[in-house]
Amino acid sequence: MSEPNDSAKGRSHARLSISPSLKPRSLMDETPRLKGAWCAKVLTLFPETFPGVLGASLTGKALQQGLWALETIDLRTFGKGKHRQVDDTPAGGGAGLVMRPDVLGRALDMASSGTPDDPTRWPRVYLSPRGAPFTQDHAKRLASAEGVTLLCGRFEGVDQRVIDHYGLEELSLGDFVLTGGEIAAQAMLDATVRLIPGVLGNAASTEEESFSDGLLEHPQYTQPRDWKGHETPEVLLSGNHAEIAKWRRAEAERLTQDRRPDLWARYKGRGE
C-alpha cells in the first residue's frame, strides 16, 4: 500500500478529533435544570443521535426549560484495548456479536451513581425485541419515577449476565427488530416525557387521548365544517356537552372493537 501524500495527510489531520471521556454527556448543558427534574440516562454506542426528535417540539422546549434532563453515556469509552472493543463472539458459536458484560457493567455502574437502587424510583431498562410490549401504562410508570436508565443494545444483544446482575427490565416497541435500541429509546422517552407535569401545558389533553381509558381515541374534527363533501358530525356542533361526550365514547368503543380486539377484550373484562 502506498503512503498518503502530504496533502492527504493534511486533510486527514484537519478533521475533528473526539477524545473519549468517562463523563456522561449532559445534553443542553447551557439550559437550566430544575432541582429534582426527571432525568433519562441513555447508554449507547451512538450518543450523537440524541436528543434527536426529543429536541424538537414540546419535549425539546421542556428540555431547554429544565423540566426534564437527558444524559448520554458513550459505551465505547468503556471498551477494551486500543480499539475500545465492546463486543465479542457468542459463547457456543453462531452468527453476529454480543455486547460484553465487563464493558456494560462499567457503564451501568457509572450510570447508577447518584440514583436510587429502588427500581420503582429509578427503573433500569434494556431495550430488547424480546421484551414486554411497551404500553401507555409503562409510560405512566416511568414518568412517575425520578428518572430512568435506558440501555440501547446493538449486534445480537447483550450478555445475559448483565440483565440478571442488574435486574434490567426488558421492554420492546413491538414484534419487529431494529438495528439498535436508539430509535426505541427515543420513542419511549417521547411517550414518557409528555406525561411529566408542565411539558404539554394542558393536562386534560393526556386524559382524553388513546389508551388513557383503555380505548382508542375518538375521531377528531376541526374547521371547515364541510371539506370535499365530508361534513363534521352535527352533534359536535350542537354545544350539548353531554351528547358530545356520549358520541365520543361510542366512537372510541367502536374503533377499539374494530381495530384492537385485544384492547377491547381487556376493556370489557374490567367491567365484569
Domains and CATH numbers, the chain: 20-193 (3.40.1280.10), 208-270 (1.10.1270.20)
Look at residue 166 in the predicted model and tell me its pLDDT.
Answer: 97
Distance of CA 28 to CAs 12, 151, 156, 187, Å? 30, 21, 32, 19
Asked if residue 51 has a cis previous peptide bond (ω within 30° of 0), the answer is yes
How far, in whole angstroms, is CA 218 from its chain's centroid? 25
Look at residue 206 in the predicted model and tell me its pLDDT.
Answer: 53
Distance CA 30, CA 131 (A): 36
C-alpha cell at position 192: 414518557
Q: 114-159, pLDDT tens digit by residue?
A: 999 999 999 999 999 999 999 999 999 999 999 999 999 998 899 9
What is the DSSP secondary structure assignment for residue 257, as one 8-state letter?
A: H
Which residue numbers in the chain have pLDDT < 50?
1-20, 28, 204
Distance CA 244, CA 253 (A): 14
Distance CA 197, CA 6 (A): 58
**Predicted TM-score of the model (pTM):** 0.79
